[in-house]
Amino acid sequence: MSANMPRPRPGDSEEAATLLFQISRDLPVGRHEYHKELLMARIEQAQRTRETSPSPARTRRLRPVRPAIALPALAAAVAAAVIAGTAMTGGDGNGDGGRQLATGPVLTTQIGTASPNGVSRLLDQVSLVAAKDDHPTVEAGQYVYIESKVADTFVKTVDDKSSLASHALHKRQVWYSPDGTKGWLIDPAVNDRSEGETLSLPDEQGNTPVASLNHPSYDYLTKLPTDPDTLLAKIYKETKGHGNSPEQEAFATIGDLLGESYPPADLAKALFKTAAKIPGVVAVNDAVDAVGRRGVAIARLDETSGQREEWIFDKHTHVFLGQRSVQVSKASGPEKLIKPGTVLFTSAVLQRAVVDDMKQVPARTN
């Protein structure tokens, strides 16, 4: 699937700034920098083409970034950025945005063997565990707290030279109210202020996004259908036109809900039952989360990007540990530097709880 880059219009630079801000808030955990660098690579590519082309208004066809970014928003942001120039790079032109998190060598792994055999049994086991997770209801005035360790690999472009880099493994903490209008984030890969930044709405552009599958609040999750067929139909409908395929986008959407949200037990069970109905889902015999815990995974390969999304579970208890995205086949375009075995994103969920105040950290239970 490709995205047509629309012809630039007056006012596009302002629209681009708004779109990029919304995209960055809605990206799955830890993937902000990776997708930002890919976006910037496309912006630079579009700028060079526009500068050398005899017809500046001609459209370009660009392969979409990972499915989590809606194609219309991406296309508009890229088009407007050709006009906006460095407005989207933090002003220094290198795409870093001033963040100070240490970067290191490319993250790599052994690619685990994938097979369609055993998928149904594994999903049945993890859904039973999820159904028994009797975590408390989140009341008005309380906050969902999620702590994880994350790391990622991304394409970094400086002075027209691209290379791979990674953000070191680091702690990420997020709090959000049940209605999704109040929140706080501490993640040095997103913001270099040690105290973090607000996620409370309205955002800096005055927008208050309506809760959705790609921007869920706890209250929104409590209202989702728990019948797998109904839930899958809703996911397909609401993500239509996003990503490289409807199936991959549905799988990624469920994965995002597992990673950094607080679904009620009946919905968590339904999410796994729903995943079993998506074509192309496989089981991976060996996968490792961000802190080195080994497990088995439920996964799906994006045939377009060559990236495999993996949800990792403990081999014995079948408790959800985390997730990762692994390049399993040769990439092309701006991502051609990414070799098979590269870990593009990895996470480990360490704590998920309900607290009474913003920035409150619950006591460890283990």
158: Cα within 13 Å, side-chain hemisphere: 9
Residue-level pLDDT at 99:
53
The DSSP result for 316-357, as a single string, is TT--EEEEEEEE-S---GGGTT--TTBEEEEEEEEEEEEESS
Residue-level pLDDT at 293:
97
The DSSP result for 99-160, as a single string, is ----EESPPB-PPPPEESTTHHHHHHHHHHHHHT--PPPPPTT-EEEEEEEEEEEEEEEETT
Residue-level pLDDT at 66:
28
Q: What is the pLDDT of residues 59-79, one digit of tens each?
A: 222 222 222 333 333 333 333
Long-range contacts of 326-333 (CB under 8 A, 24+ apart): 326/109, 326/111, 328/111, 328/301, 330/306, 331/305, 331/306, 333/63
Residue-level pLDDT at 38:
45
Ranges in the chain, pLDDT < 50: 1-98
Residue-level pLDDT at 190:
87
- 62: CB partners within 8 A, 6+ apart: 2, 3, 5, 42, 45, 46, 75, 78
Residue-level pLDDT at 235:
98
